[in-house]
Each structure stands twice: as C-alpha cells, then as structure tokens.
Homo-oligomer: A and B are copies of this chain.
C-alpha cells in the first residue's frame, strides 16, 4: 500500500532511528539479498537472541521490514517502498539548496513507480 506524503513524513523519526544502528543496517543489507529467518539473520552477530530480536521488532515497527511466522520459524522480508520516505526527504533538502520547494512530490511519485 502506498503511503501518503504526510504519512511518510510522520514515519521519518522511526525510520532514521532504525537506520542509526549498525546491526539494523547490516540486517537490512542481508535482507536486500532476499528473505531470511531470525536465526539466520542473528548468526553473524555476537549478541543474545532476545537482544537481536529487539532490533528485528524495531525494524518491523519502522516498516522497513515485514515478518511472518510459519511453524516455529519467523521469516523476515525487506519493504523497499519504505525507503522512499528517506529519498523524498533527501530530495526535499536538495530542492531547498537549489531554491525550489516544488520538486518533492514529483520525486516521490517517480520512486513509487520504480518500486513497482
């Protein structure tokens, strides 16, 4: 589902905070290559599983990933569309630098089209 511009902006706090942690960025990079289970994702990290799960829940709360449990295995998938909010904000900044405030919406639309 496509979020409205305003809704995307309201999520920026959570999204940027999710990206501020190296463990979570590493998880996103791993998931960029395809879905994975919790234990597969956790294996590279020297961290207790409950600690790792907090990162997963944080990512899920930010919308950057989705998870689904089948049997005793929870599988995680990245949600690429959520990154559009970040790109939109960056585009907005660039527009300000260049003295234009009108390019943002156009850019977001383009990114959403790309995601399809």
A-side interface residues toward B, CB under 8 Å?
A: 12-14, 16-17, 19-22, 25, 28-29, 32-35, 78, 80, 83, 86-87, 89-90, 92-93, 96-97, 99-100, 103-104, 106-107
Q: Which residue of B lies closest to A14 (CB)?
A: B20
Contact of A28 with B90 in the complex, beta carbons under 8 Å: no
Known: A17-B20, A20-B16. A32 touches B100 (CB 8 A): yes
Partner of A33, one of B16, B25, B80, B103: B103
Q: Given A33-B99, A96-B33, are A16 and B17 neighbors across the interface (CB < 8 Å)? A: yes
Determine if A34 and B104 form an interchain contact, defined as CB atoms under 8 angstroms apart: yes
Per a CB cutoff under 8 Å, which of B32, B92, B93 touches A93? B32
